[in-house]
Structure 1
Amino acid sequence: MAAFEGKSVLVLGGSRGIGAAIVRRFAADGAAVTFTYAGSREAAEQLAAETGSTAAQTDSADRDAVIARVRDSGPLDVLVVNSGFAVLGDPLEQDPDAIDRLFRVNVHAPYHASVEAARQMPEGGRIIVIGSVNGDRMPIAGMASYAVSKSALQGMARGLARDFGPRGITINVVQPGPIDTDANPADGPMKDLMHSFMAIKRHGRPEEVAGMVAWLAGPEAGFVTGAMHTIDGAFGA
């Protein structure tokens, strides 16, 4: 396939899980892909060798590093912001510094990366941010900060869609539910609880999320912007 032949794609947070599936999808479809990683150097190097993509170490909690990485990538046809993490537990006992880092990675980095990409992005460019169904629904305790960060992406996408729309640049949020990754394995201790909320009682696959991202990045989605696209087996229904 060559759906993205000649296209330049940057994936922030691409070495593992959903991000790696997105890198594989775009590379298989002919794009020139660069992806960032923070600490997973071995996984990043293996993925780059497998896909012919380029791995670049970048801390998504560092605003200036994120902006520089996007700027130095040149005019992007597609930006995907996948980097993110969660801090779990009683909010009364959590480290405020950890919460601040969560917001820098989950909210500040997507915003600054999107704005910087739009400076050089050609007409019809695509910005896709990986959010979470937890931006709509939080059925368990201990994840308030994560829910805040994922809800914030919704307002960001709606606002930037208006700002970038005159240039034909779209921005959308993909909101996965439980997806089988190292962070949330399909056979993990929470699986029965999570599946009890769902109509399709299994974890999703990273490749399924990558497929939705690829569609949003493609020509058929040129009229889709400022929208949330939930892929969760009806977890949040």
Structure 2
Amino acid sequence: MNNTPLLQYKNIVARYGSITALNDVSLDIYENEIVALIGANGAGKTTLLMSLFREPAIATGSILFEGTAIHHLSSHEIIKCGISVSPEGRRIFPKLTVEENLQLGAFVIKNKAQNQMQQKYIYSLFPILYDRRTQRAGTLSGGEQQMLAIGRGLMPKPRVFFLDEPSLGLAPLLVTQIFKILSEIAKAGTTLFLVEQNANHALKLAHRGYVLVNGKIELIGTGQSLLNNPTIQSAYLGKHATSI
């Protein structure tokens, strides 16, 4: 592993009005790594992920990509750097077709051949999207919409791909399928930063994990060490914590 992180969050503080959502949070993501961020509802997971896209803008601290501060850039410029996101809630465009949704994800790609090649790759990951390519996205099932959101996020061929709750609201079989595909995406060379309530699936996939509690990082470790941690097992993996 390269000693220099590809992406760094350094001493991040973020607020919603007078409420501090993130308090001195630091996190490193290395190239070709899968990093999971787990925590309960309201812990600040989505805030941390989306603070890179200024939703909300950080109050203090810095976000670095290959050592250069990027937290002041627009979303368009961040995508051009090689960072993309599949947001919580999917945010697809229901009245547009599957293919039109994918093309919206490729707006920064000027090379038509590269665009077509990436779309072909996404259809290979999600054959059902190819079958549905002329269908309006709003008529897809929940699982198909999640596949479309992931596919759209992959269209700019990101070096780092953020995924916010990709398993949310999906049946267990679909969750397993989605995580298998995420593993394939990582093996093909895309670095993944995964924000998930499904700690079991996330930590099994991840090389490393961070546990966020009330806006602060409380635990860091390999995916396996966190899975084996009694505190994590009790809080996130027990029979009463399956939705956390």
Q: Fold match, TM over 0.5? A: no
Name the TM-score class by shorter chain. Answer: 0.3 to 0.5
| TM-score scaled by length of structure 2 | 0.35
| TM-score scaled by length of structure 1 | 0.36
The structure with higher relative contact order (CA 8 Å, sep 6+) is: 2
Structure with the higher fraction of residues in strand conformation:
2
